[in-house]
Copies of this chain bind each other. A is one copy, B any other.
Amino acid sequence: MTSTDAYAALMSHFREIAALGQAAMVLGWDQETTMPERGVTQRAEQLGVLEGISHQKLTDPRIGDWLAVIDRAALDPVQAKNVTEAEHRHHRATRIPARLAEETARLSAHAQGIWADARARSDFAAYAPTLSQMVALKREAGQALRDADESAYDALIQDYEPGMSERELSRIFGDLRPALADLRARIADSPVKAPPLKGPFAKEAQIALSRELATAFGYDWSAGRLDFAVHPFSSGNNGDVRITTRVTEEEPFGCLYSTIHEVGHAVYSQNLDPALMFQPAGEDAGMGVHESQSRSFENQIGRSRAFAEYLFPKMRDAFGDFGAADPEALYLQLNAVETGFIRTEADEVHYNLHVMMRFDLERALISGDLDVADLEAAWNDRFTADFGVTPPDARRGVLQDVHWAHGLFGYFPTYSLGNIYAGELVATLRQDIPDLDSQVAGGNMSHFVGWMKEKIHHPSRRYMPRDLIERAVGHAPSSAPLVAYLERKFTDLYDL
Protein backbone atom coordinates (compact mmCIF):
# COMPACT_ATOMS: atom_id res chain seq x y z
CA MET A 1 0.00 0.00 0.00
CA THR A 2 1.35 3.42 -0.94
CA SER A 3 1.23 6.44 1.36
CA THR A 4 -1.39 7.98 -0.93
CA ASP A 5 -3.58 4.87 -0.72
CA ALA A 6 -3.21 4.73 3.05
CA TYR A 7 -4.18 8.39 3.40
CA ALA A 8 -7.21 7.84 1.16
CA ALA A 9 -8.27 4.78 3.17
CA LEU A 10 -7.86 6.69 6.45
CA MET A 11 -9.93 9.62 5.16
CA SER A 12 -12.65 7.34 3.82
CA HIS A 13 -12.80 5.67 7.23
CA PHE A 14 -13.08 9.00 9.08
CA ARG A 15 -15.62 10.22 6.53
CA GLU A 16 -17.83 7.34 7.70
CA ILE A 17 -17.24 8.26 11.35
CA ALA A 18 -18.13 11.89 10.59
CA ALA A 19 -21.30 10.88 8.74
CA LEU A 20 -22.33 8.65 11.67
CA GLY A 21 -21.75 11.57 14.02
CA GLN A 22 -23.85 13.87 11.86
CA ALA A 23 -26.63 11.28 11.69
CA ALA A 24 -26.57 10.98 15.50
CA MET A 25 -26.72 14.79 15.73
CA VAL A 26 -29.89 14.88 13.63
CA LEU A 27 -31.43 12.10 15.74
CA GLY A 28 -30.52 14.05 18.86
CA TRP A 29 -32.08 17.25 17.50
CA ASP A 30 -35.19 15.30 16.56
CA GLN A 31 -35.41 13.81 20.04
CA GLU A 32 -35.33 17.25 21.69
CA THR A 33 -37.71 19.04 19.34
CA THR A 34 -39.88 16.70 17.33
CA MET A 35 -39.96 13.06 18.38
CA PRO A 36 -43.21 11.66 19.81
CA GLU A 37 -42.89 10.73 23.47
CA ARG A 38 -43.21 6.98 22.96
CA GLY A 39 -40.22 6.99 20.60
CA VAL A 40 -37.72 7.35 23.42
CA THR A 41 -36.81 3.66 23.87
CA GLN A 42 -36.14 3.09 20.18
CA ARG A 43 -34.19 6.33 19.91
CA ALA A 44 -31.88 5.29 22.75
CA GLU A 45 -31.21 2.01 20.94
CA GLN A 46 -30.62 3.76 17.61
CA LEU A 47 -28.17 6.21 19.16
CA GLY A 48 -26.49 3.44 21.15
CA VAL A 49 -25.90 1.44 17.97
CA LEU A 50 -24.53 4.46 16.07
CA GLU A 51 -22.24 5.23 19.01
CA GLY A 52 -21.09 1.61 19.20
CA ILE A 53 -20.29 1.48 15.48
CA SER A 54 -18.38 4.77 15.70
CA HIS A 55 -16.37 3.38 18.60
CA GLN A 56 -15.62 0.17 16.67
CA LYS A 57 -14.47 2.26 13.73
CA LEU A 58 -12.31 4.53 15.90
CA THR A 59 -10.56 1.53 17.45
CA ASP A 60 -10.18 -0.33 14.13
CA PRO A 61 -6.60 -1.68 14.08
CA ARG A 62 -6.31 -0.84 10.38
CA ILE A 63 -6.00 2.80 11.45
CA GLY A 64 -2.64 1.93 12.96
CA ASP A 65 -1.60 0.18 9.74
CA TRP A 66 -2.55 3.17 7.60
CA LEU A 67 -0.81 5.61 9.94
CA ALA A 68 2.35 3.52 9.76
CA VAL A 69 2.42 3.73 5.95
CA ILE A 70 1.58 7.42 5.54
CA ASP A 71 4.61 9.59 4.72
CA ARG A 72 3.92 12.66 6.87
CA ALA A 73 6.54 14.77 5.12
CA ALA A 74 4.60 14.49 1.86
CA LEU A 75 1.35 15.91 3.30
CA ASP A 76 0.05 19.44 2.91
CA PRO A 77 -0.99 21.23 6.14
CA VAL A 78 -4.66 20.21 5.97
CA GLN A 79 -3.74 16.59 5.28
CA ALA A 80 -1.24 16.69 8.13
CA LYS A 81 -3.91 18.03 10.47
CA ASN A 82 -6.33 15.31 9.37
CA VAL A 83 -3.70 12.65 10.12
CA THR A 84 -2.84 14.16 13.51
CA GLU A 85 -6.50 14.32 14.49
CA ALA A 86 -7.17 10.77 13.28
CA GLU A 87 -4.18 9.46 15.21
CA HIS A 88 -5.19 11.38 18.35
CA ARG A 89 -8.78 10.09 18.26
CA HIS A 90 -7.67 6.53 17.54
CA HIS A 91 -5.24 6.59 20.45
CA ARG A 92 -7.80 8.00 22.85
CA ALA A 93 -10.45 5.48 21.81
CA THR A 94 -8.07 2.54 22.20
CA ARG A 95 -6.76 3.74 25.57
CA ILE A 96 -10.21 3.47 27.20
CA PRO A 97 -10.92 -0.17 28.14
CA ALA A 98 -14.28 -1.44 26.84
CA ARG A 99 -15.35 -2.18 30.42
CA LEU A 100 -14.72 1.46 31.44
CA ALA A 101 -16.59 2.85 28.41
CA GLU A 102 -19.58 0.63 29.11
CA GLU A 103 -19.68 1.41 32.83
CA THR A 104 -19.49 5.13 32.13
CA ALA A 105 -22.25 4.97 29.50
CA ARG A 106 -24.47 2.94 31.83
CA LEU A 107 -23.88 5.21 34.82
CA SER A 108 -24.38 8.34 32.73
CA ALA A 109 -27.69 6.99 31.43
CA HIS A 110 -29.25 6.72 34.86
CA ALA A 111 -27.23 9.37 36.72
CA GLN A 112 -29.27 12.06 35.01
CA GLY A 113 -32.50 10.76 36.54
CA ILE A 114 -30.94 10.44 40.00
CA TRP A 115 -29.58 13.98 39.70
CA ALA A 116 -32.97 15.36 38.58
CA ASP A 117 -34.74 13.68 41.53
CA ALA A 118 -32.11 14.88 44.00
CA ARG A 119 -32.27 18.41 42.63
CA ALA A 120 -36.06 18.49 42.88
CA ARG A 121 -35.73 17.60 46.57
CA SER A 122 -32.56 19.68 47.13
CA ASP A 123 -30.98 16.54 48.55
CA PHE A 124 -27.30 16.36 47.68
CA ALA A 125 -26.77 13.24 49.81
CA ALA A 126 -29.13 11.32 47.50
CA TYR A 127 -26.91 12.16 44.54
CA ALA A 128 -23.48 11.96 46.17
CA PRO A 129 -22.94 8.17 45.79
CA THR A 130 -23.72 8.35 42.06
CA LEU A 131 -21.46 11.36 41.60
CA SER A 132 -18.70 9.55 43.51
CA GLN A 133 -18.90 6.66 41.09
CA MET A 134 -18.79 9.03 38.14
CA VAL A 135 -15.78 10.88 39.55
CA ALA A 136 -14.00 7.55 40.04
CA LEU A 137 -14.74 6.49 36.45
CA LYS A 138 -13.64 9.83 35.00
CA ARG A 139 -10.49 9.80 37.10
CA GLU A 140 -9.74 6.34 35.75
CA ALA A 141 -10.43 7.59 32.21
CA GLY A 142 -8.14 10.59 32.75
CA GLN A 143 -5.38 8.30 34.02
CA ALA A 144 -5.82 6.00 31.03
CA LEU A 145 -5.80 8.88 28.56
CA ARG A 146 -3.12 11.16 29.93
CA ASP A 147 0.30 11.60 28.39
CA ALA A 148 3.34 11.55 30.67
CA ASP A 149 3.36 15.33 31.18
CA GLU A 150 -0.38 15.64 31.74
CA SER A 151 -2.64 15.37 34.77
CA ALA A 152 -5.76 13.21 34.59
CA TYR A 153 -7.84 16.40 34.41
CA ASP A 154 -5.65 17.72 31.60
CA ALA A 155 -6.44 14.57 29.64
CA LEU A 156 -10.19 15.06 30.16
CA ILE A 157 -10.04 18.69 28.96
CA GLN A 158 -8.79 17.57 25.52
CA ASP A 159 -12.24 16.44 24.40
CA TYR A 160 -13.49 20.01 24.70
CA GLU A 161 -10.46 22.29 24.36
CA PRO A 162 -7.60 20.62 22.50
CA GLY A 163 -4.14 21.59 23.72
CA MET A 164 -5.36 23.20 26.94
CA SER A 165 -4.11 22.30 30.44
CA GLU A 166 -5.29 23.08 33.95
CA ARG A 167 -2.09 25.01 34.58
CA GLU A 168 -2.70 27.21 31.55
CA LEU A 169 -6.34 27.66 32.54
CA SER A 170 -5.30 28.71 36.04
CA ARG A 171 -2.91 31.24 34.53
CA ILE A 172 -5.54 32.65 32.14
CA PHE A 173 -8.23 32.74 34.82
CA GLY A 174 -5.80 34.10 37.43
CA ASP A 175 -6.42 37.81 37.02
CA LEU A 176 -10.05 37.44 36.07
CA ARG A 177 -11.45 36.28 39.39
CA PRO A 178 -10.30 39.18 41.60
CA ALA A 179 -11.19 41.72 38.92
CA LEU A 180 -14.74 40.36 38.61
CA ALA A 181 -15.22 39.98 42.38
CA ASP A 182 -14.20 43.61 42.77
CA LEU A 183 -16.41 44.81 39.92
CA ARG A 184 -19.49 42.98 41.20
CA ALA A 185 -19.03 44.42 44.68
CA ARG A 186 -18.77 47.96 43.28
CA ILE A 187 -21.88 47.52 41.11
CA ALA A 188 -23.82 46.14 44.09
CA ASP A 189 -23.22 49.49 45.85
CA SER A 190 -24.31 51.57 42.84
CA PRO A 191 -27.64 53.41 43.04
CA VAL A 192 -28.19 52.90 39.30
CA LYS A 193 -30.95 50.39 38.58
CA ALA A 194 -32.43 49.18 35.31
CA PRO A 195 -36.08 50.21 34.82
CA PRO A 196 -38.44 47.26 35.33
CA LEU A 197 -39.85 45.48 32.28
CA LYS A 198 -43.51 46.03 31.44
CA GLY A 199 -45.20 43.01 29.91
CA PRO A 200 -46.79 40.81 28.84
CA PHE A 201 -44.73 40.02 25.77
CA ALA A 202 -46.71 38.20 23.07
CA LYS A 203 -44.97 34.99 22.07
CA GLU A 204 -45.56 35.43 18.33
CA ALA A 205 -43.97 38.89 18.45
CA GLN A 206 -40.93 37.49 20.31
CA ILE A 207 -40.50 34.73 17.73
CA ALA A 208 -40.88 37.15 14.81
CA LEU A 209 -38.29 39.50 16.35
CA SER A 210 -35.98 36.57 17.10
CA ARG A 211 -36.13 35.59 13.44
CA GLU A 212 -35.38 39.15 12.37
CA LEU A 213 -32.37 39.34 14.69
CA ALA A 214 -31.09 35.95 13.49
CA THR A 215 -31.29 37.21 9.91
CA ALA A 216 -29.48 40.44 10.86
CA PHE A 217 -26.68 38.37 12.41
CA GLY A 218 -26.20 36.47 9.15
CA TYR A 219 -28.00 33.22 9.96
CA ASP A 220 -28.67 31.43 6.66
CA TRP A 221 -32.26 30.17 6.75
CA SER A 222 -31.70 28.01 3.67
CA ALA A 223 -29.24 26.06 5.81
CA GLY A 224 -31.19 26.08 9.07
CA ARG A 225 -34.44 26.40 10.97
CA LEU A 226 -35.77 27.60 14.33
CA ASP A 227 -37.69 25.33 16.70
CA PHE A 228 -38.48 25.16 20.39
CA ALA A 229 -36.64 23.27 23.11
CA VAL A 230 -36.69 23.32 26.91
CA HIS A 231 -32.94 24.00 26.97
CA PRO A 232 -32.07 25.88 23.76
CA PHE A 233 -29.17 24.52 21.71
CA SER A 234 -27.81 24.62 18.19
CA SER A 235 -26.92 21.53 16.24
CA GLY A 236 -25.35 20.56 12.91
CA ASN A 237 -22.76 21.88 10.49
CA ASN A 238 -22.40 23.52 7.09
CA GLY A 239 -25.64 23.20 5.09
CA ASP A 240 -27.82 22.02 8.00
CA VAL A 241 -27.43 23.94 11.26
CA ARG A 242 -30.54 24.23 13.38
CA ILE A 243 -31.26 26.52 16.31
CA THR A 244 -33.80 26.29 19.08
CA THR A 245 -35.20 28.80 21.54
CA ARG A 246 -37.70 29.02 24.36
CA VAL A 247 -40.34 31.64 24.95
CA THR A 248 -42.40 32.91 27.90
CA GLU A 249 -44.82 35.84 28.00
CA GLU A 250 -43.32 37.26 31.19
CA GLU A 251 -40.12 38.58 29.67
CA PRO A 252 -38.63 38.73 26.16
CA PHE A 253 -34.86 38.65 26.68
CA GLY A 254 -34.73 34.93 27.44
CA CYS A 255 -36.07 34.23 23.96
CA LEU A 256 -34.27 36.99 22.07
CA TYR A 257 -30.86 36.50 23.66
CA SER A 258 -30.88 32.73 23.69
CA THR A 259 -31.63 33.02 19.98
CA ILE A 260 -28.72 35.42 19.40
CA HIS A 261 -26.48 33.12 21.46
CA GLU A 262 -27.43 30.05 19.41
CA VAL A 263 -27.12 32.07 16.19
CA GLY A 264 -23.52 32.79 17.20
CA HIS A 265 -22.87 29.05 17.44
CA ALA A 266 -24.87 28.35 14.30
CA VAL A 267 -23.30 30.97 12.01
CA TYR A 268 -19.90 29.57 13.00
CA SER A 269 -21.06 26.06 12.05
CA GLN A 270 -22.67 27.24 8.80
CA ASN A 271 -19.44 28.97 7.79
CA LEU A 272 -17.10 26.03 8.35
CA ASP A 273 -15.06 25.37 5.21
CA PRO A 274 -17.36 23.28 2.95
CA ALA A 275 -14.32 21.93 1.08
CA LEU A 276 -13.33 20.09 4.27
CA MET A 277 -16.74 18.68 5.14
CA PHE A 278 -16.53 15.14 6.63
CA GLN A 279 -12.79 15.67 7.38
CA PRO A 280 -11.44 16.21 10.91
CA ALA A 281 -9.82 19.48 9.78
CA GLY A 282 -13.27 20.68 8.65
CA GLU A 283 -14.82 20.54 12.11
CA ASP A 284 -15.05 23.39 14.60
CA ALA A 285 -11.93 24.24 16.62
CA GLY A 286 -13.36 23.27 20.00
CA MET A 287 -15.83 24.35 22.67
CA GLY A 288 -13.95 27.48 23.74
CA VAL A 289 -13.85 28.90 20.22
CA HIS A 290 -17.49 27.89 19.71
CA GLU A 291 -18.47 29.71 22.86
CA SER A 292 -16.41 32.75 21.77
CA GLN A 293 -18.81 33.11 18.87
CA SER A 294 -22.03 32.74 20.85
CA ARG A 295 -20.71 35.18 23.48
CA SER A 296 -19.48 37.71 20.91
CA PHE A 297 -22.88 37.68 19.24
CA GLU A 298 -24.91 37.67 22.46
CA ASN A 299 -22.85 39.92 24.72
CA GLN A 300 -20.10 41.87 22.99
CA ILE A 301 -22.45 42.95 20.19
CA GLY A 302 -25.93 42.01 21.42
CA ARG A 303 -25.66 43.79 24.77
CA SER A 304 -23.77 46.83 23.44
CA ARG A 305 -25.12 50.38 23.55
CA ALA A 306 -25.08 50.43 19.74
CA PHE A 307 -27.21 47.30 19.57
CA ALA A 308 -29.67 48.78 22.09
CA GLU A 309 -30.11 51.71 19.68
CA TYR A 310 -30.88 49.27 16.89
CA LEU A 311 -33.15 47.11 19.05
CA PHE A 312 -35.15 49.81 20.84
CA PRO A 313 -37.54 50.79 18.00
CA LYS A 314 -38.03 47.12 17.17
CA MET A 315 -38.98 46.38 20.78
CA ARG A 316 -41.42 49.31 20.70
CA ASP A 317 -42.97 48.04 17.46
CA ALA A 318 -43.26 44.52 18.81
CA PHE A 319 -44.39 45.17 22.38
CA GLY A 320 -45.43 48.84 22.73
CA ASP A 321 -44.27 50.45 25.97
CA PHE A 322 -42.13 47.70 27.48
CA GLY A 323 -40.75 49.75 30.38
CA ALA A 324 -37.76 51.47 28.77
CA ALA A 325 -38.22 55.10 27.70
CA ASP A 326 -35.25 55.21 25.34
CA PRO A 327 -32.36 53.11 23.98
CA GLU A 328 -30.22 53.98 26.99
CA ALA A 329 -32.84 52.54 29.35
CA LEU A 330 -33.01 49.38 27.22
CA TYR A 331 -29.20 49.21 27.33
CA LEU A 332 -29.43 49.19 31.12
CA GLN A 333 -32.15 46.52 31.06
CA LEU A 334 -29.96 44.34 28.83
CA ASN A 335 -27.12 44.70 31.34
CA ALA A 336 -28.91 44.47 34.66
CA VAL A 337 -26.36 43.10 37.15
CA GLU A 338 -27.74 41.05 39.99
CA THR A 339 -26.17 38.54 42.32
CA GLY A 340 -28.00 35.26 41.68
CA PHE A 341 -27.34 31.65 42.54
CA ILE A 342 -27.87 30.16 39.09
CA ARG A 343 -25.10 30.13 36.46
CA THR A 344 -27.39 30.01 33.44
CA GLU A 345 -29.19 33.17 34.59
CA ALA A 346 -26.02 35.12 35.35
CA ASP A 347 -25.01 38.44 33.79
CA GLU A 348 -21.64 39.18 32.18
CA VAL A 349 -20.10 40.25 35.49
CA HIS A 350 -21.10 37.21 37.51
CA TYR A 351 -21.01 34.50 34.84
CA ASN A 352 -17.30 33.73 34.90
CA LEU A 353 -17.25 33.63 38.70
CA HIS A 354 -19.74 30.78 38.49
CA VAL A 355 -17.57 28.97 35.96
CA MET A 356 -14.20 29.41 37.62
CA MET A 357 -15.63 28.04 40.82
CA ARG A 358 -16.77 24.87 39.04
CA PHE A 359 -13.37 24.58 37.38
CA ASP A 360 -11.55 24.64 40.73
CA LEU A 361 -14.00 22.22 42.34
CA GLU A 362 -14.04 19.68 39.53
CA ARG A 363 -10.28 19.48 39.16
CA ALA A 364 -10.02 19.00 42.93
CA LEU A 365 -12.52 16.14 42.59
CA ILE A 366 -10.53 14.49 39.80
CA SER A 367 -7.16 14.95 41.55
CA GLY A 368 -8.59 13.55 44.77
CA ASP A 369 -7.97 16.74 46.75
CA LEU A 370 -11.71 17.06 47.29
CA ASP A 371 -14.04 14.25 48.26
CA VAL A 372 -17.60 14.22 46.92
CA ALA A 373 -18.80 14.01 50.54
CA ASP A 374 -17.28 17.47 51.11
CA LEU A 375 -18.42 18.98 47.81
CA GLU A 376 -21.57 20.73 49.02
CA ALA A 377 -19.71 22.49 51.83
CA ALA A 378 -16.87 23.43 49.49
CA TRP A 379 -19.37 24.80 46.98
CA ASN A 380 -21.12 26.94 49.58
CA ASP A 381 -17.87 28.26 51.06
CA ARG A 382 -16.51 29.26 47.69
CA PHE A 383 -19.82 30.78 46.60
CA THR A 384 -20.00 32.88 49.75
CA ALA A 385 -16.45 34.10 49.23
CA ASP A 386 -16.99 35.08 45.58
CA PHE A 387 -20.62 36.26 45.62
CA GLY A 388 -21.13 37.53 49.16
CA VAL A 389 -24.19 35.33 49.69
CA THR A 390 -24.72 31.66 50.53
CA PRO A 391 -26.95 29.33 48.44
CA PRO A 392 -30.13 28.68 50.45
CA ASP A 393 -30.37 25.07 49.26
CA ALA A 394 -28.62 22.49 47.08
CA ARG A 395 -31.03 23.06 44.24
CA ARG A 396 -29.73 26.60 43.91
CA GLY A 397 -26.22 25.45 44.73
CA VAL A 398 -24.25 22.33 44.00
CA LEU A 399 -27.15 20.52 42.31
CA GLN A 400 -27.99 23.14 39.68
CA ASP A 401 -25.99 21.77 36.69
CA VAL A 402 -26.45 18.42 34.94
CA HIS A 403 -22.91 18.34 33.48
CA TRP A 404 -21.21 16.11 36.06
CA ALA A 405 -24.05 13.57 35.90
CA HIS A 406 -23.20 13.22 32.20
CA GLY A 407 -19.54 12.72 33.07
CA LEU A 408 -18.58 16.12 31.67
CA PHE A 409 -15.44 17.06 33.58
CA GLY A 410 -13.19 19.63 31.90
CA TYR A 411 -16.11 21.13 30.01
CA PHE A 412 -17.06 24.03 32.32
CA PRO A 413 -13.87 26.10 31.79
CA THR A 414 -14.61 26.35 28.06
CA TYR A 415 -17.52 28.68 28.91
CA SER A 416 -15.13 31.23 30.40
CA LEU A 417 -12.53 30.59 27.73
CA GLY A 418 -15.25 31.53 25.26
CA ASN A 419 -15.79 34.86 27.03
CA ILE A 420 -12.05 35.47 27.17
CA TYR A 421 -11.58 34.64 23.48
CA ALA A 422 -14.57 36.85 22.66
CA GLY A 423 -12.90 39.69 24.59
CA GLU A 424 -9.73 39.23 22.55
CA LEU A 425 -11.48 38.89 19.21
CA VAL A 426 -13.85 41.83 19.52
CA ALA A 427 -11.09 44.11 20.88
CA THR A 428 -9.07 43.35 17.76
CA LEU A 429 -11.93 43.58 15.29
CA ARG A 430 -12.87 46.95 16.75
CA GLN A 431 -9.43 48.14 15.63
CA ASP A 432 -10.02 46.70 12.15
CA ILE A 433 -13.58 48.10 11.93
CA PRO A 434 -13.39 51.53 13.61
CA ASP A 435 -17.04 52.39 12.91
CA LEU A 436 -18.37 49.06 14.22
CA ASP A 437 -20.76 50.74 16.66
CA SER A 438 -22.42 52.90 14.04
CA GLN A 439 -22.74 49.85 11.79
CA VAL A 440 -24.38 47.86 14.61
CA ALA A 441 -26.64 50.76 15.57
CA GLY A 442 -27.84 50.74 11.95
CA GLY A 443 -28.45 47.01 12.07
CA ASN A 444 -25.48 46.17 9.86
CA MET A 445 -23.69 43.21 11.46
CA SER A 446 -22.15 42.03 8.19
CA HIS A 447 -18.65 43.40 8.77
CA PHE A 448 -18.60 41.94 12.28
CA VAL A 449 -19.71 38.53 11.00
CA GLY A 450 -17.44 38.80 7.95
CA TRP A 451 -14.40 39.39 10.18
CA MET A 452 -15.29 36.37 12.31
CA LYS A 453 -15.90 34.28 9.21
CA GLU A 454 -12.47 35.05 7.80
CA LYS A 455 -10.51 34.74 11.04
CA ILE A 456 -12.40 32.02 12.93
CA HIS A 457 -15.17 30.26 10.98
CA HIS A 458 -13.53 29.43 7.67
CA PRO A 459 -10.26 28.09 9.20
CA SER A 460 -12.43 25.41 10.83
CA ARG A 461 -10.19 22.97 12.75
CA ARG A 462 -6.99 23.68 10.82
CA TYR A 463 -5.35 25.10 13.98
CA MET A 464 -5.39 24.43 17.70
CA PRO A 465 -7.73 26.87 19.50
CA ARG A 466 -4.96 28.85 21.10
CA ASP A 467 -3.13 29.21 17.77
CA LEU A 468 -6.33 30.16 15.97
CA ILE A 469 -6.97 32.99 18.45
CA GLU A 470 -3.33 34.08 18.35
CA ARG A 471 -3.40 34.23 14.53
CA ALA A 472 -6.55 36.38 14.74
CA VAL A 473 -5.41 38.84 17.42
CA GLY A 474 -1.61 38.81 17.12
CA HIS A 475 -0.74 37.59 20.62
CA ALA A 476 -1.36 34.76 23.07
CA PRO A 477 -4.87 35.01 24.54
CA SER A 478 -5.31 36.49 28.01
CA SER A 479 -8.23 37.75 30.05
CA ALA A 480 -6.98 41.36 29.92
CA PRO A 481 -9.20 42.54 27.02
CA LEU A 482 -12.28 40.94 28.59
CA VAL A 483 -11.54 42.60 31.95
CA ALA A 484 -10.91 45.95 30.26
CA TYR A 485 -14.17 45.63 28.30
CA LEU A 486 -16.20 44.79 31.40
CA GLU A 487 -14.56 47.55 33.47
CA ARG A 488 -15.18 50.14 30.79
CA LYS A 489 -18.75 49.04 30.10
CA PHE A 490 -19.99 48.67 33.66
CA THR A 491 -18.07 51.61 35.12
CA ASP A 492 -19.86 53.77 32.57
CA LEU A 493 -23.27 52.12 32.96
CA TYR A 494 -23.31 52.09 36.75
CA ASP A 495 -21.48 55.40 37.35
CA LEU A 496 -18.75 53.62 39.35
Docked-complex contact A36 and B224, CB < 8 angstroms: yes
A40 to B278, CA, bound (A): 14
Known interface pairs A22-B46, A38-B222, A225-B34; A53-B239 also in contact (CB < 8 Å): no
Docked-complex contact A222 and B23, CB < 8 angstroms: no
Tell me, rounded to whole Å, the shortest Cβ–Cβ distance linking A357 to chain B: 39
Known interface pairs A26-B26, A26-B30, A27-B26; A240-B38 also in contact (CB < 8 Å): yes
A261 to B315, CA, bound (A): 46
**Does A16 reach chain B (CB closer than 8 Å)?**
yes
**Does A41 reach chain B (CB closer than 8 Å)?**
yes
The one of B23, B50, B221 that contacts A36, using a Cβ cutoff of 8 Å: B221
Docked-complex contact B239 and A49, CB < 8 angstroms: no
A220 to B223, CA, bound (A): 32
Enumerate chain A interface residues (CB-CB to B < 8 A). 15-16, 19-20, 22-23, 26-27, 30, 34-43, 45-46, 48-50, 52-53, 220-225, 236-240, 242, 277-278
Known interface pairs A46-B23, A52-B16, A53-B16; A40-B225 also in contact (CB < 8 Å): no
Docked-complex contact B36 and A222, CB < 8 angstroms: yes
A26 to B23, CA, bound (A): 10
A46 to B237, CA, bound (A): 13
Docked-complex contact B52 and A239, CB < 8 angstroms: no
Docked-complex contact A38 and B278, CB < 8 angstroms: no
Closest 8 CB pairs of A and B: A39-B240, A38-B239, A19-B49, A38-B223, A23-B46, A39-B239, A19-B46, A16-B49
Q: Which residues of B contact A43 (CB under 8 A)?
A: 240
A467 to B41, CA, bound (A): 31
Q: Which residues of B contact A22 (CB under 8 A)?
A: 42, 46
A49 to B30, CA, bound (A): 20
Q: Which residues of B contact A30 (CB under 8 A)?
A: 26, 30
Tell me, rounded to whole Å, the shortest Cβ–Cβ distance linking A396 to chain B: 33
Residue of B at shortest CB range from A40? B239
A242 to B15, CA, bound (A): 30
Q: Which residues of B contact A16 (CB under 8 A)?
A: 49, 52-53
Known interface pairs A19-B46, A26-B26, A27-B23; A223-B53 also in contact (CB < 8 Å): no
Q: Which residues of B contact A45 (CB under 8 A)?
A: 15, 19, 278
A27 to B27, CA, bound (A): 8
Besides A19-B50, A36-B240, A40-B239, 12 more A-B contacts (Cβ < 8 Å) are A15-B45, A16-B49, A16-B53, A22-B42, A23-B27, A23-B50, A34-B225, A35-B240, A36-B221, A36-B222, A36-B223, A39-B240
CB-defined A-B contacts under 8 Å, sample of 24: A16-B53, A19-B50, A20-B50, A22-B42, A22-B46, A23-B23, A23-B50, A27-B27, A30-B30, A34-B34, A34-B225, A36-B221, A36-B222, A36-B239, A36-B240, A38-B220, A38-B222, A38-B238, A38-B240, A39-B236, A40-B239, A42-B237, A43-B240, A45-B278
Docked-complex contact B42 and A238, CB < 8 angstroms: yes
Residue of B at shortest CB range from A24? B23
Docked-complex contact A223 and B26, CB < 8 angstroms: no
Residue of B at shortest CB range from A19? B49
